Amino acid sequence: MSEEREISVNLKDGSSYTICVAKGALATIGEKVAALKPCRTAMIVSDETVGPVYATLVKKRLEEAGYEVYDALVPSGETSKSVEIASELWQELAQRQLCRDDLLVAVGGGVVGDLAGFVAATYMRGIDFVQVPTTLLAMVDASIGGKTGVDLPCGKNLVGSFHQPIYTCADTRCLRTLTDEDWANGFGEIAKSSVVCSERSFYEWLRDHAEDLCAHDDQALEEVVARTAEFKAKVVEQDATESSGIRECLNYGHTLAHAIEAAAGYGEIGHGRAVAEGMRFAARLAVQVLETDTDFVAKQDALLDSLGLEELAWTCNPDRLLKLMKGDKKARGGAIRFVLPHDFTSWELVEVDDDLLMVHLSAWCEAKEKLVEAG
Ligand code: GLY
């Protein structure tokens, strides 16, 4: 195992937890969890893709540490983030007689983490849970900060709760099995974090190591997971429930991204690529609204390109995008809000007037149409 990095998340309510990042970190998960929670029973929730590999390993480690361990595998993919699957898991927990002192362990990507976290948040009014993220996206974003939930047929993440894990174990060895789309999803959130992070050194490091990351260099991957997790931990410490405005920075690029993903049909355009596109759009909007320097836009474009997040060749009707943005749960009273950058490290949450937004959306759709035509 490489040297473990431990990142603390110290919340304002006095609670805290550790995010462990290392290649091979799963080797010690049993003893780490047992030290935190000497309980009898754990239920692992994973999916049918990663479960046979990583949940099996986690189960073995927990059993060695003295736990009685059950596991439940859900179908892979976003459709498992549903009330129906959550209900099946609640029933499984009840049938296995897990009680309030027992533990749930989420092993997988963002879908599994959100679903299992929500089940943990609600079963018996809340039991402890551990996050074992196995994708880059989950390691740098979804497994940190306690956002849990399920989707409804009419929208993503519409039912949920804030419920922080008691421990997050990010073993970068799990990244070996990622698909190209999984990498893009992680790189999109990492690029976003580097722009809104208050320390410019994050962006500079990412710019200088993009090639190593694209080559999946072990050291660079550990470093980027640790840096991004550290950044997110700091944000969550200040605004765990997204109520003071600070956590909103994590939504940079997401206003357009969510609309693009919904318009294309979920799963058609990966989240990371949609976020990258949303960042390009927001940066250009910022030039007009905040007088952001075009040099920033060029630097951000170059960063995204270097991470393999090239411009999206996809378009749709601008009215449809506007309508989808208005329906997003981040909109307030119909007003569409964007995180807009002044530069790296500095951003503002801005309500953008519909007319101005339509001008930009129309131009964006037109430009995209040309890209599509050019093939
Ligand atoms: N993924 C955004 C957040 O955790 O707030």
What confidence tens digit (pLDDT) does each residue in 171-211 have? Answer: 999 999 999 999 999 999 999 999 999 999 999 999 999 99
Q: Please report the atom of ligand 1 found closest to the CA of residue 251.
A: 2
Respond yes or no: is residue 323 known to be catalytic: no
**Regarding predicted confidence, which is higher, 372 or 165?**
165
Respond yes or no: is residue 251 known to be catalytic: yes
Nearest C-alpha neighbor of 27 from the set 68, 62, 66: 62
3-21 burial, b for 16+ CB within 10 Å, e for fewer? ebbebebebeeeeebbbbb
Q: How confident is the model at residue 49, as a pLDDT? A: 95
**Regarding predicted confidence, which is higher, 268 or 148?**
148
pLDDT in tens, 232-242: 999 999 999 99
Q: How confident is the model at residue 8, as a pLDDT? A: 97
Q: Which of 73-77, 121-125, 145-149, 326-330 has the lowest mean pLDDT?
A: 326-330
Ligand 1 in contact with 247 (CB < 6 A)? yes
Ligand 1 in contact with 250 (CB < 6 A)? yes
Predicted TM-score of the model (pTM): 0.95
User: Residue 319: how many CB atoms within 10 A of its CB?
Assistant: 12
Respond yes or no: is residue 189 known to be catalytic: yes
Q: Mapped to the 3 state alphabet, what secondary structure does 196-215 carry?
A: HCCCHHHHHHHHHHHHHHHC
69-83 burial, b for 16+ CB within 10 Å, e for fewer? bbbbbbebeeebbbe
Question: Over the Cα atoms of the chain, what is R_g?
Answer: 20
- Candidate from 141, 193, 329 with most ligand 1 atoms within 8 A of CB, to mutate: 141
Q: Please report the atom of ligand 1 found closest to the CA of residue 250.
A: 2
Q: How confident is the model at residue 112, as a pLDDT? A: 98
Q: What is the pLDDT averaged over residues 103-121?
A: 98
User: Does the pLDDT of residue 329 top 70, yes or no?
Assistant: no
What does each C-alpha distance from 166 to 10, 17, 295 come to in angstroms?
Answer: 11, 5, 42
Respond yes or no: is residue 326 known to be catalytic: no
Question: Of 189, 222, 230, 277, which residue is the catalytic one?
Answer: 189
pLDDT in tens, 336-375: 999 999 999 999 999 999 999 999 999 999 999 999 898 7
Whole-number Å distance, alpha carbon 292 to ligand 1 midpoint, is 25
Q: How confident is the model at residue 174, as a pLDDT? A: 97
Residue whose token pair is 């909109």:
331
Tokens of 15: 């609670």
Q: How confident is the model at residue 375, as a pLDDT? A: 78
Respond yes or no: is residue 248 known to be catalytic: no
Q: What is the mean pLDDT of the chain?
A: 95
Q: How confident is the model at residue 333, as a pLDDT? A: 73
Question: Of 59, 192, 209, 271, which residue is the catalytic one?
Answer: 271
Q: What is the pLDDT averaged over residues 140-158?
A: 92
Q: Whose CA is closest to atom 2 on ligand 1?
A: 250
How many residues make up the chain in this entry? 375
Q: What is the pLDDT averaged over residues 122-130?
A: 98
Respond yes or no: is residue 254 known to be catalytic: yes
| Dist. CA 70–CA 265, nearest whole Å | 35
| Dist. CA 217–CA 179, nearest whole Å | 16
Respond yes or no: is residue 232 known to be catalytic: yes
Measured in degrees and rounded to the nearest 5, phi and psi for residue 349 equal -95, 120
Tokens of 252: 């940079």
User: Does the pLDDT of residue 331 top 80, yes or no?
Assistant: no
DSSP state of 290: T
Q: Please report the atom of ligand 1 found closest to the CA of residue 235.
A: 5
Ligand 1 in contact with 273 (CB < 6 A)? no
263 — pLDDT class (breaks 50, 70, 90): very high
